[in-house]
Amino acid sequence: MLHYVDDHIGRLPSIGLTGRRQAAGTDFEPVVRDALVETFFVDYAAAIARAGGIPLLLSMECDPVAVVEQLDGLVLSGGADVDPRRYGATPGPHASGLEPRRDEFELAVLDAAWARGIPVLGICRGTQLINVGRGGTLVPHLPNDSGEAHSFLGYPRHHRAHPVDLIEGSIPHELFGPRITVNSLHHQAVAEPGTGLVVAGRAPDGVVEAIQAVDAPVVGVQWHPEMLDGTDPLFGWLIDNARLRNTTTTARKQEENVVNA
């Protein structure tokens, strides 16, 4: 008799989503205002769901390796600056809201996902974290008058502020073609790409806007695709690769079970 592993073939991919931790604050009753909450912008979860995945908020109380074993994909979301000390710099006057605990957790989750071949999409801070995690460095601050409108200048979050030229042969180029116009809410950027990473797109002023891994399904972009209308191809790429990995893993488990039956 053959024994197969039931791994829910055809199920929707489970996509881990990182967020931030902060005090509850004045929106809550006084008795719990100093309690910690973990939050994320719903735009991320909605984009994952539209693309066909199940968004799962990853609490920093999770064991990074154990939780990644339950995932088919990972989104590293935007937020505060990565601590400059992690790439050999010191916090400058423009460093905003450093979250060392978040850095530690997300870097561990990223390492675990990379080791397991789980597809990763980094967005804004998430892109910078991917780069720092592989030994790369960051531009600590892009002034408002640095060239393109990279930082938030008062327009709606879905406003497409400037173009990005995508490198031929890169994953973003395959998804969008040679040029895309994007929204822009960042004041930092990749400086020197980390080990195993390459630049996949730049703004006309030369600022790095997209990176990807050479030998892993890992992509990072500085813009916020989750805030744009419709189903974004980047989330489609993530879900497609999550499904592919899930199908491949399930088939391999079944083959192993047959051999051991």
Q: What is the per-residue pLDDT across 14-63, written as a single tens digit (0 to 9) for each? A: 999 999 877 777 788 877 788 877 888 899 999 999 999 999 999 999 99
Average pLDDT over residues 62-89: 95
Host domain of residue 173:
14-260
Residue 1 forms part of a structural domain: no
Collect all residues with Cβ–Cβ distance below 8 Å to 31 and sequence separation of at least 6.
none
CB 113 within 8 A of CB 211: no
Residue 7 forms part of a structural domain: no
Residue 2 forms part of a structural domain: no
The overall average pLDDT reported for the chain is: 87
Count of domains in the chain? Answer: 1
Give catalytic residue positions: 124, 224, 226
| pLDDT value of position 235 | 98
Name residue, tokens 């590293």: 76
> pTM of this prediction?
0.88
Q: List 14's β-bridge partners, or say none.
A: 54
The token pair at 133 is: 């995690």
| pLDDT value of position 148 | 60
Q: Which CATH number fits the domain that encloses residue 181?
A: 3.40.50.880
Interval 21-31: pLDDT, tens: 777 777 888 77
| Dihedral, CA of residue 113, residue 59, residue 105 and residue 41, to nearest 10 | 90
Residue 8 forms part of a structural domain: no
| pLDDT value of position 246 | 73
Collect all residues with Cβ–Cβ distance below 8 Å to 101 and sequence separation of at least 6.
21, 60
Radius of gyration (C-alpha) of the chain in whole angstroms:
19
Residue 3 forms part of a structural domain: no
Interval 144-181: pLDDT, tens: 656 565 666 667 777 777 899 999 999 999 999 999 99
Of the candidates 127, 134, 142, which has an alpha carbon nearest to the alpha carbon of residue 222? 127
Residue 130 to residue 120: CA distance in whole angstroms = 9
| pLDDT value of position 154 | 66
Residue 224 to residue 234: CA distance in whole angstroms = 10
| pLDDT value of position 149 | 59
Interval 124-149: pLDDT, tens: 999 999 999 999 999 988 866 565 65
Residue 168, burial from CB neighbour count under 10 angstroms (0-12, 13-18, 19+): exposed
Residue 71 to residue 62: CA distance in whole angstroms = 13
Residue 152 forms part of a structural domain: yes
The per-residue b/e assignment along 215-232, b for 16 or more CB within 10 angstroms, e otherwise, is ebbbbbbbbbbbbbeeeb
φ/ψ of residue 121, rounded to 5: -120, 115
Residue 207 forms part of a structural domain: yes
Average pLDDT over residues 200-220: 97
Report the share of the chain in percent with pLDDT over 70: 86
The pLDDT-based confidence of 5 (bands split at 50, 70, 90) is very low
CB 76 within 8 A of CB 106: yes
